[in-house]
Amino acid sequence: MLDNRQNMNTVPFSDLTSFYVDRFDRRAVDLREAGVPECVVLGQATYRHAYPPLQEHRHFNVAELAFVAKGQQPYSINGRDFTLLGGEGTIIPPDTPHSSADQPSYPCKKAWIQLLLPDGKQTKSWLGLTNDEARPILDMLRQPTNLYTKWPTDYGQRINRLFTIFDLPPSPLRTAMLRAGLQQILFDLLDRNVPFTAPAHQIRVRKVIAWLESLTDESPSIERLAREAGLSLSSFKRVFRDVAGITPHAYILHKKIDRAMAMLSDGQQSVTEIALACGFSTSQYFATVFKRITGVTPNDMLRKHGITVPSDTDGQ
């Protein structure tokens, strides 16, 4: 018998097969079951490694709020390519083709909400709002002003709060709290639905991040990245954090660990060899950073993939 984490049902209103799922690294629930018929999916996921590209698909009469808390996620929406970085979100209008632009789904932490919109002229309340109250929100969901923007800094916490409420026993209060949480998110996004153009220095840093992600075997120094962006080192560090949500040093460390995870999965090299190949001075320092970022040691990962760990390892 499958346990609860393995039970999955197909998400409706899409030409791409996806599932409701409840795992430690990915959760997607149906708020219609909790008395909120407008919310088809409330989801969040943590990708520890890259996944295959997201195929082009669309959601029929369903708008999607896609948010990246950490890391990055490439998108192509109706033929317009861009990359969401930490703290940024995009509104995908209903019936709009979108994909990851033939790029992998990179390691990241992300969340999404899919909302079923009313057909034609609204004849009853939507998400508990009157027609006049809902109209500006529905207009935004059907035709957002910006391709992507920075979203509220506490957006990730709001998603977590919605999941916490969803896990409460069924009750009218639970339904009202879920509806109110969704309303607050939408009203805050409506406040941000005004024309926005990123400053030139942020655009340069975004291009450097895209270049950095295209590298597989090289980990350039922060000084080199600053030169590529045409900024002083101090300005580059400040703008990088504003754009990516983390420091350049932390970003590069995550990239090194992503590469190490792929090499560990292959099982062709020892932990020490992988540590040196990924630019770490010692295997002990590599193991410390690896566990801090992934929650497991390199040897734990080897065992997970059925690879024999030498008997003389030192807890890496």
- Domain stops at, among 191, 214, 244: 191
Indicate the range of 52-56, 93-97, 167-171 predicted with least confidence.
52-56
Convert the pLDDT of each residue in 217-233 to its tens digit: 677 889 989 888 888 99
pLDDT cut 90: percent of the chain above it? 42
Tell which wins on pLDDT, 19 or 1. Answer: 19
Do residue 114 and residue 16 come from a single domain? yes
Mean pLDDT of the chain: 86
Q: Is 315 within a domain? A: no
Do residue 24 and residue 172 come from a single domain? yes
What phi and psi values does residue 280 have, to the nearest 5 degrees? Answer: -95, 140
Do residue 138 and residue 213 come from a single domain? no
pLDDT at 216 over 70: no
- Domain stops at, among 148, 167, 191: 191
User: Is 77 exposed, middle or buried (CB count within 10 Å of its CB: 0-12, 13-18, 19+)?
Assistant: buried
Q: Is 314 within a domain? A: no
Q: Is 211 within a domain? A: yes
Q: Which domain holds residue 225?
A: 200-304
Do residue 49 and residue 151 come from a single domain? yes
Neighbours of 280 (CB within 10 A): 21
Do residue 150 and residue 228 come from a single domain? no
pLDDT at 308 over 70: no
Residue 123 sits in a domain of what CATH number?
2.60.120.10
Do residue 206 and residue 234 come from a single domain? yes
pTM exceeding 0.75: no
Do residue 165 and residue 126 come from a single domain? yes
Neighbours of 168 (CB within 10 A): 12
Do residue 32 and residue 59 come from a single domain? yes
Q: Is 164 within a domain? A: yes
Asked if 254 and 71 count as a contact pair (C-beta separation under 8 A), the reply is yes
Could you give the number of structural domains in the chain? 2
Indicate the range of 92-96, 113-117, 144-148, 254-258 predicted with least confidence.
254-258
Average pLDDT over residues 14-33: 92
Predicted confidence at residue 314, as pLDDT, reads 38
Q: Is 309 within a domain? A: no
Do residue 208 and residue 182 come from a single domain? no
CA distance 305 to 136: 51
Q: Is 242 within a domain? A: yes
- Domain stops at, among 191, 208, 223: 191
Q: Is 260 within a domain? A: yes
Do residue 133 and residue 205 come from a single domain? no
Asked if 94 and 142 count as a contact pair (C-beta separation under 8 A), the reply is yes
Helix (H), strand (E) counts: the chain? 10, 10
Average pLDDT over residues 190-208: 82
Residue 254 sits in a domain of what CATH number?
1.10.10.60
Q: Is 313 within a domain? A: no
Neighbours of 279 (CB within 10 A): 15
